[in-house]
Amino acid sequence: MRSKIVAGNWKMNKNLSETKDLLSEILDKLPDTEAEVIVAPTFVNLSEAAHILQTSEIKVAAQNMHYARNGAFTGEISADMLLNINVDTVIIGHSERRAYFGETDELLAKKVKAALENKMRVIFCFGEELDERKAGNHFNVVESQLKNGLFELPAEAWQHIVLAYEPVWAIGTGETASPEQAQEMHAFIRKTITEAYDASIADEVSILYGGSVKPSNAGEIFSKSDVDGGLIGGAALVADDFIAIVKAI
Ligand code: PEP
């Protein structure tokens, strides 16, 4: 079901005591909101975060997972391990996973499938690089990432998918897509899903924007009709900024 979502991707930041401090400050300052608020701390602190947040409205997500149920995959984490600590949402396909860890569309499709088979919800990230936008190729790139990552899924799987359009040139750079650029791409994404499936699936999926969202630009970006919220990196590490972004929705 389409809903407003603000999700914080903490990446490889915050040790255990910092995680507890940040969560406690977010909990103290969290306003009443209709938006779903999600935080994604690093794996080693997920269990503690899930425990701290279990009686709150804030949900916990993992930043990645492996597609196999278990086995000889040193350093990896399975869906079963996440579910066992009450984490049922996972970010898949973040541009840093694609760029630094060689995650291909094919691998990401396997991860998405595994997460859904385990009844998890997926926040699927995708977006073009700067040279692809400069070359006017951004729509093709996004279409192909969606097609390769998600379009083998049956229609009913889409109720467990959240999309996060994150132009790589805007992630952690301070440069944000303009609200118009975000809206244009989000509308294109809905059109692409309509063509591959149908309009009801395209209308019902939540599409988040990610890329240097901060308190000063969140309101304008979130005001666009096809933008359902944000995936927040740097600003999610500062409680006041994250809370201001939640308020902006
Ligand atoms: C992200 O990593 O998903 C992200 C959007 O980062 P930032 O907000 O720092 O650009």
Return the bridge partners of 61, or none. Answer: 89
Phi, psi (deg, nearest 5) at residue 233: -100, -95
pLDDT of residue 176: 84
pLDDT of residue 158: 98
pLDDT of residue 172: 79
The pick from 5, 9, 130 for probing ligand 1's pocket by mutation, whose C-beta has the most ligand atoms within 8 angstroms, reads 9
78 Cα–ligand 1 center, Å: 24
85: left (phi over 0), alpha (psi -120 to 50) or beta: alpha
Is any ligand 1 atom within 6 A of the Cβ of residue 211? Answer: yes
Cβ atoms 23, 9 nearer than 8 A? no
Find all residues with CB under 8 Å of 17, minimum gap 6, and list them.
none
Is any ligand 1 atom within 6 A of the Cβ of residue 166? Answer: yes
Cβ atoms 43, 63 nearer than 8 A? yes
129 Cα–ligand 1 center, Å: 14
| CA–CA gap between residue 64 and residue 74 (Å, rounded) | 14
69 Cα–ligand 1 center, Å: 29
- Single-letter amino acid, residue 23: L
| CA–CA gap between residue 154 and residue 181 (Å, rounded) | 29
User: For the residues of 40-84, what is the DSSP string, one character each?
Assistant: E--GGGHHHHHHHTTTSS-EEEES---SSSSSS-TT---HHHHHH
What residues are labeled active site? Answer: 94, 166
Helices H / strands E in the chain, number of each = 11, 8
pLDDT of residue 198: 96
pLDDT of residue 175: 80
Where the chain has pLDDT below 50, the residues are none
Q: pLDDT digits over 3-60, tens only?
A: 999 999 999 999 999 999 999 999 999 999 999 999 999 999 999 999 999 999 999 9
